[in-house]
Structure 1
Amino acid sequence: MREAATLAPHEPVIQLAEAELLLESGRYSEAVRIYEKLHEATEEIAGVRLSSRLAEAYSAGAAYEEAIPFYEALLDKEANPEELFGLGLAYYQTARYSEAVTRLEQLLEMDPDYFSAYMLAGQSYAQQNEDAKALELFTKGIERDEFDKELQLAAGKSALKLQIPQQAEEHLKEALVLDPEYIDALVTLASVYENQEKDEALIDLLTFSEVDQLEIPLLHAFLAYAYERTEDYEKAYEMYFKAYDGMNEDAAFLDQYARFLLEEGKRDEALSIIQQLVRIAPHEEEWTAYIAQSEEEG
């Protein structure tokens, strides 16, 4: 390519080939410079629309504002699924969510099997706090492709925001069936069970997922709470201990841990946790008083 460019540096076809190579290799700004220069003289070379390449190159380099005019110009002439999606993505990335929805729904009318458009349209609605419409788009996408774990997760989270926990649970479970190691879905479903104090379901979920190997302190904390509520205090103690290093800046966790230790008669350990709690939440009067009393008792 370098040799050809040296021999015929002003030949448009050779310049185009160089730009194509740069685009494919991820050197987007260099490709843009060549495409822009060629575009000044013509719209198309060897069947390649330069506006399309400029839109693609700008988007690939995350220059979405610069990509938008090229996508719009292309779509004014002819609607094309790839370019509709590209424009929808560019609108989304520049926080023009209502315009993103318009273009993505236009795309889905043209091609209902353009699966990634369901996710992006739903996310655009969610950014506008239109959670019911977001859930509708995610659900439509799942009807077309029930094996998309990301759509299942997105639908689950939207259902939670709409306070439909049963539907949320169904989607999150399905996401984990598709990928048992899908951490985002696992944490979200565990949070659902914790909020509802569905202890047996929570323990089953996290035991099956081998949470010890995941090293996620929040999940250790959830297990500690569940074991404590089900009066399996030995396992609760083990999980509180495992959760501590990652949760020692979380006042709510420290409060619950301290109360558990006091109930178990582990006063020295409890005092250490309470001192940490007071360091990060100095206005916790109950615990500052407890520390003062402990010091008086010697």
Structure 2
Amino acid sequence: MSDKNKHGIELMKEGKYEEAAKAFHSALEENPDDPVIYVNFGNLLELVGEYEKAMGFFDKAISMDETMAPAYYGGGVVFYKLEQYDDALDLFQEAIKRGLSDGDSHFMLGMSFSQLGDITRALPHFQSAAEKNSEDVEAWFQYGMTLGKLNLFEQAITALENVIELAPDHADAYYNLGVAYLYKENIQKAKEMFAKAIENQNDHLLAHNGIKKINEIQESTETND
């Protein structure tokens, strides 16, 4: 990797996008046949919302080396942000097929399936993402949410508890734990989880509504008794 390419990556990580663009431009002048530089420049353009230009760089990288898995991944991110989920899905699958089988690739593939309403096919990719990036809060959360949607509540609880362990203030995780416990008919535990959601986000309307419904159920039970 050229020094200018490395410098461009460092500048991009620091949020110095204009300087990074100059570094990548210089790197390409020195090494116009290096597909890696095109991928990095494409990643930069995607970050700043220049999606059409970014795709041009990813396509160029692929035309130079069709095994360039990060170029497929970068293109997938662009299509995902443009809400073209079918196209995104194709490119994330291609990235994985070409060897980029990391947590991020599986997570984005899971998100693409999820956006298309295919949660059954999303599930194994969220599971892979969570297993490969064991401290990725969002991967565990999406995995837990998807398990819940598939009525796999025991597994959903385990996954969402991992979220809480990693991010103790994750109000949505507490809320979804509450929902899972409700389905398991553990009303007291559900109420505790909804309360924890509110403790961490006072305006969590769904959690407030959950407690309200539980109170109504308990009052109705007491009246009938």
Give the TM-score normalised by structure 2: 0.73
- Deviation of 1:210 after TM superposition, in Å, equals 7.7
Q: Which runs of 5+ in 1 are unaligned?
A: 1-15, 233-262, 264-298
Other-structure match for 1:150:
138
Residue type matched to 1:115 in 2? G
Q: Which runs of 5+ in 2 are unaligned?
A: none
- Deviation of 1:150 after TM superposition, in Å, equals 1.5
Residue type matched to 2:191 in 1? I
Other-structure match for 1:124:
112
Does the 8 A contact of 1:105 with 1:121 survive in 2?
A: yes
Other-structure match for 2:68:
80
Residue type matched to 1:121 in 2? L
1:55 equivalent in alignment to 2:42:
yes
Other-structure match for 1:66:
53
Other-structure match for 1:175:
163
- Deviation of 1:71 after TM superposition, in Å, equals 0.4
Other-structure match for 1:184:
172
C-alpha distance in 2, partners of 1:101/1:81? Answer: 14
> Alignment partner for residue 223 of structure 1, among 211, 214, 225?
211
Of the structure 1 ranges 69-78 and 143-152, higher mean CA displacement relative to structure 2 is found in 143-152
1:105 equivalent in alignment to 2:93:
yes
Query: Secondary structure of the residue that 1:230 maps to in structure 2?
Result: helix
Other-structure match for 1:89:
77
Of the structure 1 ranges 72-81 and 158-167, higher mean CA displacement relative to structure 2 is found in 158-167
Does the 8 A contact of 2:85 with 2:116 survive in 1?
A: yes
Other-structure match for 2:186:
198
Cα pair distance change 1:74/1:132, threshold 3 Å: same
C-alpha distance in 2, partners of 1:49/1:178? Answer: 34
Q: How well do the aligned residues superpose, as a CA RMSD in angstroms? A: 3.7
Structure with higher RCO (Cα < 8 A, 6+ apart): 2
C-alpha distance in 1, partners of 2:9/2:100? Answer: 30
C-alpha distance in 2, partners of 1:214/1:22? Answer: 36
Give the TM-score normalised by structure 1: 0.57
- Deviation of 1:131 after TM superposition, in Å, equals 1.2
Tell me which structure has the larger Cα radius of gyration: 1
- Deviation of 1:23 after TM superposition, in Å, equals 5.6
Render the CA deviation track for 1:137-177: whole Å, top value 9, x for unaligned: 11222333444322221122223333433433332233223
C-alpha distance in 1, partners of 2:9/2:148? Answer: 46
- Deviation of 1:62 after TM superposition, in Å, equals 1.4
C-alpha distance in 2, partners of 1:174/1:115? Answer: 16
- Deviation of 1:46 after TM superposition, in Å, equals 11
Does the 8 A contact of 2:198 with 2:204 survive in 1?
A: no
Cα pair distance change 1:173/1:38, threshold 3 Å: closer
Does the 8 A contact of 2:38 with 2:61 survive in 1?
A: yes
Residue type matched to 2:91 in 1? R
